[in-house]
Amino acid sequence: MAVIAPRIRLAADGPEFSRIVFGLWRLAEWNLAPAARVALLEQALALGVTTVDQADIYGGYVSETLLGEALALAPGLRKRLQIVSKCGIKLVHPNRPQHRVKHYDTSGAHILASVETSLRAMHTDHLDLLLIHRPDPLMDADAVAEAFLQLQKDGKVLHFGVSNFTPAQFDLLSSRVPLVTNQVELSVLQPAALTDGSLDQAQRLRCAPMIWSALGGGQLFGDGDARVQRVRAELARVAALHAVSEAVIATAWVLQHPSRPLVLTGSGRIAAIAEAVSACAVTLAREDWFAILAASTGAEVA
């Protein structure tokens, strides 16, 4: 029986999202005509994947526009989706000729301007969630909070969070304004979030983390070095026990963390999104979960 992505509330006063989120970082690479983008979103919705992840900078500042074209073509889609976007990174890119140096900007003026651009690009009047993309050493927490509260008051953004923040950076900003998530990297190839305090904080605050590159950004399935091959062999062993693919096991391994992570998919193939959804129904035996961790770190736990 086909599995439908379960839904999850990110925090007590947070939004309800699908546990599997459609990541649109690579949307421009998929070279889809607008009608094909609508069709792909419809297929994801049919799997219960109602939440999409964007950022102002994705695709060299074009991914939001590509989604916006699809939403303009099928106006009924917007209200069936939750849209996450991000701001705070300024890339040196032909689409932003005024940028001389890659840098972070979490000034109130930039946050407000970036959201206006995102809303226009996506043909929508609000974002369900806005994240500060990367921690900015010059972040003034009061200025960010003021911009967030203005956006909320104007109905332009419903909820706020951060991405790639350390627990201390998260604490700083959440001392000024409520945050509902920290979007961080976690995979069988990048297990650092298990021990750097970010998932402990997420569990303590009951703020479900959003996980990016849960399949190592595709690295897991490339040629790979000896470590990748070792992890892959362990995933294959466990996958055979469950009669599913290695990608399903790698995703289930992330989903099993008690901080209740949401997983962002990065593929443009609906079959890969369906695999991520099916991982929601797989529970690994504790020994198998640890065997995969040991294959990743190269040693059993102490």
Nearest to 261 by CA among 213, 207, 224: 207
Q: Report the Cα–Cα distance between both ends of the chain, in Å, rounded.
A: 40
Q: Which residue is nearest to ligand NAP (CB)?
A: 266
Distance CA 90, CA 113 (A): 12
Catalytic one of 17, 22, 25, 58: 58
CB of residue 26 vs ligand NAP: minimum separation in angstroms? 6
* Interacting residues with ligand NAP (CB under 6 A): 23-26, 53, 163-164, 183, 212-218, 221, 247, 264-269, 272
CB of residue 228 vs ligand NAP: minimum separation in angstroms? 12
Nearer to ligand NAP, 220 or 300 (CB): 220
Q: In Å, what is the CA distance from 124 to each residue of 61, 110, 146, 293?
A: 17, 19, 22, 42
DSSP assignment letter at 125: S
58 counts as catalytic = yes
Nearer to ligand NAP, 32 or 299 (CB): 32
CB of residue 217 vs ligand NAP: minimum separation in angstroms? 4
Nearest to 157 by CA among 170, 144, 168: 144
Nearer to ligand NAP, 215 or 295 (CB): 215
Q: Which residues of 216-246 are buried (b: 16+ CB within 10 A; e: fewer)?
A: bbebbeeeeeeebeebbebbeebbeebebbb
Nearer to ligand NAP, 145 or 214 (CB): 214
Distance CA 57, CA 218 (A): 20
CB of residue 237 vs ligand NAP: minimum separation in angstroms? 17
Active site residue ranges: 58
